[in-house]
Amino acid sequence: MQHSAPRSRRSFLQSAPLVAAGGLVACGQAEQQAAPAVQSQQHFKWKMVTTWPKDFPALGTGANNLAHSIEALSDGRLHVKVYGAGELVPASGVFDAVSGGTAEMGHGAAYYWKGKHEATQFFSAVPFGLNAAEINGWLRYGGGQSLWDELYAPFNLQAFPVGNTGVQMGGWFNREINTLADFSGLVMRMPGLGGEVLRRLEVTVKALPGGEIFQALKTGAIDATEWVGPYNDLAFGLHQAAQYYYWPGWHEPGTALECMVNKQALEALPADLQAVVAYACQAANDDMLSEFTARNSQALKTLVDEHGVQLRRFSDELLAQIGKVSAEVVAEIAGQDPFSSRVYDSFDAFRKNSIAYTRISEEAYTQARALTFG
Ligand code: CA
């Protein structure tokens, strides 16, 4: 997709006597001459397909923001056009579109691709797994990213964590859920491993893309659903189709979103534009979590105060029972193949360490704050 290639970086460097050893230019005049020419003038036009409705709050707009950052940081040399779900390919076609080169980038969530490999789910959300800060820690400093790279390489993809919803809500129901028996017979939308857990609780599980949820719940095609949290759930109007809003979202404790990039497209970029992509992704990863943090609490207040939504907490007994089933479901993935076993071991070890520290840090702090501030 490159439009011009007037001069390669290599050919410039070979003919650039003013660039001193160590990369520093010798004087101000040399800097003025050297700086523009160091940059390749190649221009690239990329497509980003997404699993979200176009411009959907935080998810779709976060993808838009990533495209804008890449454009700005590259001084317009890398232009990314964003497509909502269904515009170029359906939500379920994003992985194949980027893998095959129909689009250079895709934004979605790794657990949507469990049909490609069960281990994808560890890089998005695992029931009773890592929260947002922990999964970023595992990916960046705990060995998670190199496992993700290994998983996606055969698909011709490079993945970057881009966004995190924080802990999600437990879902929308039209009747109270007090015991495991209350799940039995429900038809519920839930993706990923949470869906597999519910299957074992005799729930009929649907993995509908976001854009189809409201209609399905409103018409009774499904009895219950989870989506994300107050900000996104309010945007879909889910409170108009169900009365009870349960917490906490045991199934998605801090769902990592992803930007996947076609490897050939990425490697065709000059080194500085590859860095632009990587750092723009890192900035967008932080920005989307910040937006969810700010907007979810506002939206929760709107749902309760203005729409009369009934908040309900899953009981400790119920959560412990679901947790036991969840542990079995997640451990089964480890038994499927040697790679999944390595991912599980890495993830599980990180979780064990995190539990020990979180108990005396974030968890202890929020409990302490609640003693005074509620
Ligand atoms: Ca969800």
- Which two three-digit tokens encode residue 142? 């705990």
The DSSP result for 296-307, as a single string, is HHHHHHHHHHTT
Measure 128 CA to ligand 1 centroid, in angstroms: 14
Q: How far is residue 272 CA from its own chain's centroid?
A: 25
CA distance 169 to 252: 8
pLDDT digits (tens, 9 = 90+) for 187-207: 999 988 999 999 999 999 998
Q: What CATH code would you report for 4-164+255-293?
A: 3.40.190.170
Average pLDDT over residues 56-67: 96
Give the pLDDT score at 19. Answer: 31
pTM over 0.75: yes
Query: Element (H or E) spanning 49, and its range?
Result: strand 44-50
CATH fold match for the domains 4-164+255-293 and 171-253+298-336: yes
Measure 210 CA to ligand 1 centroid, in angstroms: 9
Measure 161 CA to ligand 1 centroid, in angstroms: 17
Measure 311 CA to ligand 1 centroid, in angstroms: 17
Measure 266 CA to ligand 1 centroid, in angstroms: 29
Asked if the model's pLDDT at residue 30 lies above 80, the reply is no
Asked if the model's pLDDT at residue 209 lies above 90, the reply is no
Measure 309 CA to ligand 1 centroid, in angstroms: 19
Asked if the model's pLDDT at residue 23 lies above 50, the reply is no
CATH homologous superfamily for the domain 171-253+298-336: Periplasmic binding protein-like II (3.40.190.10)
- Amino acid (1-letter code) at residue 364: A
Measure 223 CA to ligand 1 centroid, in angstroms: 16
Measure 323 CA to ligand 1 centroid, in angstroms: 17
pLDDT digits (tens, 9 = 90+) for 240-291: 999 999 999 999 999 999 999 999 999 999 999 999 999 999 999 999 999 9
pLDDT digits (tens, 9 = 90+) for 329-366: 999 999 999 999 999 999 999 999 999 999 999 999 99
Confidence of residue 9 (pLDDT cuts 50, 70, 90): very low
Asked if the model's pLDDT at residue 369 lies above 90, the reply is yes
Whole-number average pLDDT of the chain? 91
Residue 192 vs residue 90, higher pLDDT: 90
Measure 28 CA to ligand 1 centroid, in angstroms: 54
Measure 252 CA to ligand 1 centroid, in angstroms: 6
Asked if the model's pLDDT at residue 102 lies above 80, the reply is yes
Contact 88, 217 (CB under 8 A): no
Measure 349 CA to ligand 1 centroid, in angstroms: 24
What order do you get walking across the sheet with 44-50 strand by strand? 78-83, 44-50, 105-108, 256-262, 157-164
**Radius of gyration over every alpha carbon of the chain, rounded to an integer in angstroms:** 23
Helices (H), the chain: 9-14, 28-38, 59-73, 94-100, 132-141, 144-152, 192-199, 213-219, 230-236, 263-267, 271-305, 316-334, 338-360, 362-373
Asked if the model's pLDDT at residue 32 lies above 80, the reply is no
The DSSP result for 210-266, as a single string, is GGGHHHHHHHTSSSEE--S-HHHHHHHTGGGT-SEEEE--TT-SSPEEEEEEEHHHH
Residue 2 vs residue 312, higher pLDDT: 312
Give the pLDDT score at 191. Answer: 85
Ligand 1 ion: residues within 5 Å (CB): 168, 252
Residues 6+ apart with CB under 8 A from 5: 42
Measure 229 CA to ligand 1 centroid, in angstroms: 8
Measure 165 CA to ligand 1 centroid, in angstroms: 9
Give the pLDDT score at 39. Answer: 56
Measure 168 CA to ligand 1 centroid, in angstroms: 6
Average pLDDT over residues 104-124: 96
Give the pLDDT score at 40. Answer: 62
Domain residue ranges of the chain, discontinuous segments joined by +: 4-164+255-293, 171-253+298-336
Cβ-in-10-Å burial (0-12, 13-18, 19+) of 123 comes to: buried
Residues 6+ apart with CB under 8 A from 285: 136, 160, 161, 162, 163, 164
Measure 167 CA to ligand 1 centroid, in angstroms: 9
Measure 228 CA to ligand 1 centroid, in angstroms: 4
CA atoms within 13 A on the CB side of 304: 12
Please give the C-alpha separations between residue 351 and each of 3, 11, 12, 331, in angstroms, as whole numbers: 47, 49, 49, 13
Measure 342 CA to ligand 1 centroid, in angstroms: 25
- Which two three-digit tokens encode residue 188? 């519920």
Closest among 111, 107, 53, 353 to 251, alpha carbons compared: 111
- Amino acid (1-letter code) at residue 23: G
Residues 6+ apart with CB under 8 A from 18: 25, 26, 30, 33, 34
Give the pLDDT score at 67. Answer: 98
pLDDT digits (tens, 9 = 90+) for 218-238: 999 999 999 999 999 999 999
pLDDT digits (tens, 9 = 90+) for 10-22: 333 333 333 333 3
Average pLDDT over residues 129-133: 97
Residues 6+ apart with CB under 8 A from 209: 51, 85, 90, 91, 92
Give the pLDDT score at 184. Answer: 92
Measure 190 CA to ligand 1 centroid, in angstroms: 7
Measure 14 CA to ligand 1 centroid, in angstroms: 52
CA distance 105 to 123: 17
